[in-house]
Structure 1
Amino acid sequence: MHELISTIQVLTALIGAFATFFAVLHKSHHEDYSDKFKTLQKERDNLAEDYENERKKRKELEDKYEKLKKKLENT
């Protein structure tokens, strides 16, 4: 009976050690994830800005096209 209790205590200690190890490992990688999220957010913001710039250019070109089209139709 004493051996069974000792075995259970050893297994419990091993499980606790593994849980602690993985918790520390996860926390150390959490900082890496934070940096990755910041980088992805910057890329997202840059892409949104590029999209808005391209959209403005496209709108200007469409307006010029419409003006030229109307001018051509009137002549």
Structure 2
Amino acid sequence: MLETNKKYYRVERKAIAFLRFIFEAYDGIATVTSIDPGAGIVTLCIAPGCEAEVEGILDDLRNDMMIETRDEETIPFVP
């Protein structure tokens, strides 16, 4: 069984819902989960084989909003 690739990001707090909406529109390539909404920390669980497409979407979104890649070690609480 293939597992999803989990990546962490910090985004503007007001952009979390928008980011979730964008990835829901791309049916099945990634899910967005809020880890610390106050700090804008989210995780993307990326479907196997969709990593390049997700990075392309994120690169495009970076033109209009702040999206920072975070390491798991820098996240205060990871469930």
- State the TM-score, normalized to the length of structure 2: 0.24
Which structure has the bigger radius of gyration? 1
- Larger strand proportion, structure 1 or 2? 2
Bigger RCO of structures 1 and 2 (CA < 8 A, at least 6 apart): 2
